[in-house]
Structure 1
Amino acid sequence: MGSKIPRAARLVAAVVAVGLAAACGGGASAPASTAASGDPAQPVSLTFWSWVPDIQKAVDAFNTAHPGIKVKLETITPGPDGGYAKMLAAVKAGNAPDVAQVGYDSLPSFLVNGALQDVTEYAKDDAAKFVDWQWQTGVFGAKVYAIPQASGPMGFYYRKDLFTKWGLEAPKTWDDFAAAAATIRKKDKSAYISTFAANQAPWMISLAQQAGQQWFGTEGDAWKVTIDNPDTRKMAAYWQKMLDDKLVKTEADMSNAWYKDLQTGSIVGWIGGSWGDAIIRGNAPGTSGKWAVAPMPQWAGAAQFTSASWGGGSASAILKGTKNPGAATEFAVWLNSAPESVNTLLSAGYGWPSVKDTSQITNLQKDDTVFPFYGGQNIWEVFKQADAAVATDWRWPPVSDALYSSLTDNAKAAVQGDGTLTDAFAKTQQAMVEQLKAKGLNVVTGG
């Protein structure tokens, strides 16, 4: 079969597979970079697309410190909600931004679609500034295409005041989580511990990632798809029982209804990424001081503490067609490594920093914006532990858009009674096999 694969498709498979292998194991260091600060008299103009709240403050700080480069921020919808489609269309039309926020999970897809600019020559010495596994998410075949921004380690946000009122503590295990959910339903018929967010493929994937076995890998010259595996089936069966017992609400998170439920106490918990603190703060301001964060519940009998990262995290990708790749790279590196920028972005809710040296990230220790909302708790200590427990060898396929679409469609159907969540993941595996084969790639399966 391999001999029948078009040469272009084989090259795509090789580049992505090699790049992902580098991302998982350390890979080759990126060659070095040159400065591109520009001329203050004729500053270089860059356009940057992002959805991070208040990121304008960091952009303004960059512009002040770099008079030879002027960056214009354009706010877009989060990638899976339409931002990525807009980016890819802009690249195709020849009017793409110079730099764009792209999730680690979607970088392989962007590469396959020819939407990333090779900026290896401009990335001199920058690899040392960033956490190795996050840096490698933007490296394919030893070439640099993106600068890491932040990961999204998971935690459990919960209404501590209500948990205390009901005699509950933050659940340490998933069994504890189910027991707490049952108690909450008895104490208040209008309240739920959480929602099952069938609209959020990255969220469901993070649950599977924490459960254990990964979904994608390579075997020889083929992609190996193992979505329908024992660990994922265990996780799916758990949530199916939660749904059957009506212990969680079936509501889309980050929707108007969900925000209202956060405000009223109808939803008293959320398993979310580290950037989620800003989501809650921004949409339920009247609950300030009532929330806390605990580690993600653990599976009983687990040998060690495990966590996951929502969609892996996000990068500042340099898009194909930029006329100023050097300046674009300089901006992306500064944005995600300069202490004044990282401190601003941390409080804005961009995730867990990708920068390796956090000694100058003072907001990790004292944050007058974040900590008061969580009753004075230093929530970053929870996410520091979670980030260290993320499986950094998790791989993303070059069809993440199709993965997300298939998984949400199948999960929504299951929630509505058409099959089970276990069925949903099995159907998603079959869909991914078909998607990869449609790209001319060899595929093997497992479980």
Structure 2
Amino acid sequence: MPQRAHRRLRTSAILAGAVVATLALASCSSGETPSADGPVELTFQSWVPNIDQAVDAFNEAHDDIHVTLETITAGPDGGYAKMLSAVQAGDPADVAQVGYDAVPDFLVNDALEDITEYVADDADRFTEWQWETGVFDDRVYSIPQASGPLGQFYRKDIFDSLGLAAPTTWEEYYAAAKAIRASDPNRYIAAFAFNQAPWLIGLSQQGGGEWFSTEGDAWNVAIDDEATLEVAEFWQRLIDEDLVKIEADFSSEWNADIQNGNVASWISGSWADAIVRGTAPDTAGSWAVAPMPQWSDGETVSATWAGGSANVVLKGSKHPEEAAEFALWLNSEPESVSILTSVGAGWPAITDLESIPSLQDDPEVFAFYGGQDIWDVFAESDAAVAATWKWPPLSQTLFASLTDNVKAAVEAGTPLTEAYVATQADFVAALEDKGISVAE
């Protein structure tokens, strides 16, 4: 077993001018008393298409707060840099959309308000694991919005024709892969998406991987833990036996294979429903969705595709209490959550799914999947995600390293396990280079 390294992340802020290497766990609000002349004005930055519908609903329901939406580029493609620059300049938006994986990055940059006093009593309204993505040392820094719980999208017509059911265990998955491969020289059970670090991480998480944890002011790093290496060895067997197709998902080739059935299934997040329908509309009625295969029969362990998205109050907001109120309403009020779900924001973070109209009856979606209510699968999947998973700072560095190392292993024919060992070393070095101490 490779030697594991561990990481530390201090819990006090280091000011600009040096590499910020701390997790800011307390912040001072610069709140101002709302003017008697009109509502408190807030700015909300988000990249979610059509989220303006939910913002409009908030404004219609509130006389004392008015929110203006500012559309930004998604996450690390430019939006995060803009947010952080505005915080440093002292002129941030009040509320911003960030990925669960990005919350630690904003914390080490001392860019988030501590909103514990405004929202802590509402924790039980949300799925535990999603809520916990914004909690550090019992302080709350974000309101969860939506996630991407994993499930199996599969061509039921192809499986049925071969006498196969959706695999309930990974050994059944292996057997189904052999049967599907033998049925047609061009057909595979799935693509091995070497280009998707979030997918690779989700597979490891579902297999029991615990890559990151904190211990006081210390972070432990275990990207090459035993569970992860076992998952890698399983997929190595599929690769070695030519049972999965090595191709990048979302590529032109992959799109064609989804359309023609040469790739007969896809393990992906709940949001993938829209991609399958949009990519292969002529296959309507041929698809179904099943839970993730399990490593032990009878278990119900799940995971996500890169976590999900949250709303944070940026450091320096003049109205942190009202900003927190908006973020909480946006992501917990059934009217708003229904809008978010219908526009494709992701799987809702709240626990009361029955209150969301857009999940109760979705004729277009259900018809495409042969009449199946696929949302039942993802409700169970989201509830089965372990609350212990923690995202580290420098998540984009992690994604890039893992993708590069797995791609190199596939191209060179070297073991996938070595890619995770290399990523462990790369990521520990990246943390140390940023001034984040890593305990050996």
Q: Normalised by the shorter chain, which TM-score bucket?
A: 0.7 to 0.9
> Following the alignment from structure 2 to structure 1, what is the Cα–Cα distance between the partners of residues 358 and 170?
31
How far apart are residue 321 of structure 1 and its match? 4.1
2:88 matches 1:71: no
> Following the alignment from structure 1 to structure 2, what is the Cα–Cα distance between the partners of residues 326 and 38?
14
Cα deviation digits, residues 303-347 of structure 1 (max 9, x gap): 732111222222112233444434432322122111112122223
2:106 matches 1:110: yes
- Rate the CA distance shift 1:287–1:71 in 2: closer, same or farther, 3 A: farther
2:397 matches 1:402: yes
Identity of aligned residues (%): 53
Structure 1 portions without partners, runs of 5+: 20-33
Query: TM-score, structure 1 length as denominator?
Result: 0.83
How far apart are residue 416 of structure 1 and its match? 1.3
Contact kept? 2:151, 2:269, Cα under 8 Å: yes
Give the residue type in structure 2 aligned to 1:414: A
Give the residue type in structure 2 aligned to 1:411: V
Structure 2 portions without partners, runs of 5+: 1-6
- Rate the CA distance shift 1:296–1:403 in 2: closer, same or farther, 3 A: same
Give the residue type in structure 1 aligned to 2:147: S
Cα deviation digits, residues 264-309 of structure 1 (max 9, x gap): 333221111122222223333333322111010111x457321112
Structure 1 equivalent of residue 160 of structure 2:
164
> Following the alignment from structure 2 to structure 1, what is the Cα–Cα distance between the partners of residues 235 and 180?
17
Selected match of 1:47 from 44, 52, 57: 44
Give the residue type in structure 2 aligned to 1:206: G
Contact kept? 1:9, 1:440, Cα under 8 Å: no
> Following the alignment from structure 2 to structure 1, what is the Cα–Cα distance between the partners of residues 12 and 354?
48
> Following the alignment from structure 1 to structure 2, what is the Cα–Cα distance between the partners of residues 357 and 55?
21
> Following the alignment from structure 1 to structure 2, what is the Cα–Cα distance between the partners of residues 221 and 330?
30
> Following the alignment from structure 2 to structure 1, what is the Cα–Cα distance between the partners of residues 35 and 192?
49
How far apart are residue 426 of structure 1 and its match? 0.3
2:186 matches 1:186: no
2:236 matches 1:240: yes
Task: Name the SS for the 1:345 alignment partner.
Answer: helix
> Following the alignment from structure 2 to structure 1, what is the Cα–Cα distance between the partners of residues 120 and 357?
27
How far apart are residue 42 of structure 1 and its match? 6.0
2:308 matches 1:344: no
Cα deviation digits, residues 384-420 of structure 1 (max 9, x gap): 2222221111122222122111111111111212632
> Following the alignment from structure 1 to structure 2, what is the Cα–Cα distance between the partners of residues 421 and 325?
46
> Following the alignment from structure 1 to structure 2, what is the Cα–Cα distance between the partners of residues 327 and 135?
20
Cα deviation digits, residues 52-72 of structure 1 (max 9, x gap): x44343233233333541332
Structure 2 equivalent of residue 295 of structure 1:
291
- Rate the CA distance shift 1:116–1:344 in 2: closer, same or farther, 3 A: same
Question: Which deviates the most, 124-133 or 398-407?
Answer: 124-133
Q: How does 1:16-415 map to 2 (within 5 A)?
A: 44-51=41-48, 53-66=49-62, 68-74=65-71, 76-77=73-74, 79=75, 83-92=79-88, 96-123=92-119, 125-219=121-215, 221-299=217-295, 301=296, 304-415=299-410
Contact kept? 2:21, 2:434, Cα under 8 Å: no
Contact kept? 2:257, 2:263, Cα under 8 Å: yes
How far apart are residue 176 of structure 1 and its match? 1.9
Cα deviation digits, residues 202-241 of structure 1 (max 9, x gap): 1111111111131122345432221112211111111122
Contact kept? 1:346, 1:352, Cα under 8 Å: yes
Query: TM-score, structure 2 length as denominator?
Result: 0.85
Paired positions, count: 424
- Rate the CA distance shift 1:57–1:408 in 2: closer, same or farther, 3 A: same
> Following the alignment from structure 2 to structure 1, what is the Cα–Cα distance between the partners of residues 164 and 431?
46
